[in-house]
Amino acid sequence: MCVPGIASPRIGADFVTCRSNSSLPRDPFVKIYLLPDERTCRSSKVKKKTLSPVFNETHTFLVGPEEIKKRVLRFSVYDVDRRRVRHSLGHVMINLKGLDLTKGDVMWSDLEPMAQATSSLGELQFSLVYIPANEKIKIGIHRAKNLNQMEDYPDTGAYVKVQLYYGHKCHRVKRTIPRPGGTEIMFNESLSFTVNGKQMDSCNMVVSIMLTSAKAFGSNDVEYGRIAIGAFMYSRGEELVHWQEMISQPKIISTRWHSLSSVHPPP
């Protein structure tokens, strides 16, 4: 990083961990974000069949000298398998505040693994796509699995509630149709939200599985578990990565599984 006002990260890596924890070589590449801006992303070339990739690439972000002190560089490392499916290997976050960017120093940082632990509450699969021309975010609710604690709620149905927030204020709420309860539930519904492009940086969502009585649907419903997804200020881990994929690749559907967490106050 050698030019004032311009962040130019140069990337390299050594001993990249494999998805299977074996010694087989992989095909890694790096995506770079200058947070909190998640619309602009830089990607390295894919390095074939290696655990010690040498990238020797420079990627430039144009930023004012005062603004750069407020930014955080995020390096996310992925492995591409034979089906061209990307698998997250980990990430590095570098706060640019206090760094002398005129020296062009070399920095080494260990990858922080992405959270892989399966929630005891289960998992929900959904897709995201951002359509800038229509200022819309579409979320496709696909299915839930391993809802083991549903056994504590016999004779109940379930639906998914999606709350759209601007900052800490709830702007819109939408729901899927209730389905019969169980440890695995198919939803296969799509919900659409209109989002002003100027508000994307403060936009975030809470996606909840709700339990409802077979006889009554409404105020007595119980929240089983939730997923908070959004920009850098509102989410971390796989949820942040999913959101960044949606923003940086408009009109392309991105589908992921997410672990449900216990209920806590909105972001």
Rounded distance between C-alpha atoms, residue 77 and residue 13, angstroms: 9
pLDDT at 4 over 50: no
How confident is the model at residue 262, as a pLDDT?
82
Rounded distance between C-alpha atoms, residue 51 and residue 90, angstroms: 14
Q: Which residue has the higher pLDDT, 266 or 10?
A: 10
Listed range (133-137, 202-206, 260-264) with the worst mean pLDDT: 260-264
Q: Yes or no: say if 23 and 17 are a contact pair by the CB < 8 Å rule.
A: no
Six token digits for residue 81: 């398998």
Rounded distance between C-alpha atoms, residue 141 and residue 159, angstroms: 10
DSSP structural state of residue 39:
E
Q: Yes or no: say if 215 and 226 are a contact pair by the CB < 8 Å rule.
A: no
Q: Which residue has the tokens 């599985």?
A: 209
Sequence ranges of the domains in the chain: 11-95, 122-260
Listed range (5-9, 118-122, 244-248) with the worst mean pLDDT: 5-9
Q: What is the DSSP secondary-structure string of 145-183?
A: E--GGGGGSTTEEEEEEEEEEETTEEEEEEEPPPEE-SS
Closest to 208 in 3D by CA, of 223, 190, 192, 191: 223
- Same topology between domain 11-95 and domain 122-260: yes
Kindly report, residue by residue over 125-147, the tens digit of the pLDDT: 999 999 999 999 999 999 999 99
State which H helix or E strand residue 237 sits in.
Answer: helix 237-248
CATH fold group of domain 122-260: Immunoglobulin-like (2.60.40)
How confident is the model at residue 148, as a pLDDT?
84
pLDDT at 259 over 80: yes
Rounded distance between C-alpha atoms, residue 195 and residue 147, angstroms: 31
In three state form, how does the secondary structure of 89-123 look?
A: EEEEEEECCCCCCCCCCCCCCCCECCCCCCCCCCE
In this structure, which CATH number among 2.60.40.150, 3.50.50.60, 3.40.120.10, 3.40.250.10 belongs to the domain 11-95? 2.60.40.150
Q: Yes or no: say if 107 and 54 are a contact pair by the CB < 8 Å rule.
A: no
pTM for this prediction: 0.61
pLDDT at 89 over 60: yes
How confident is the model at residue 79, as a pLDDT?
85
Six token digits for residue 243: 């959101």
Summary mean pLDDT of the chain: 82
Kindly report, residue by residue over 159-184, the tens digit of the pLDDT: 999 999 999 899 999 999 999 988 99
Kindly report, residue by residue over 32-74, the tens digit of the pLDDT: 888 877 777 888 899 888 888 888 888 888 888 778 878 888 8
How confident is the model at residue 65, as a pLDDT?
78
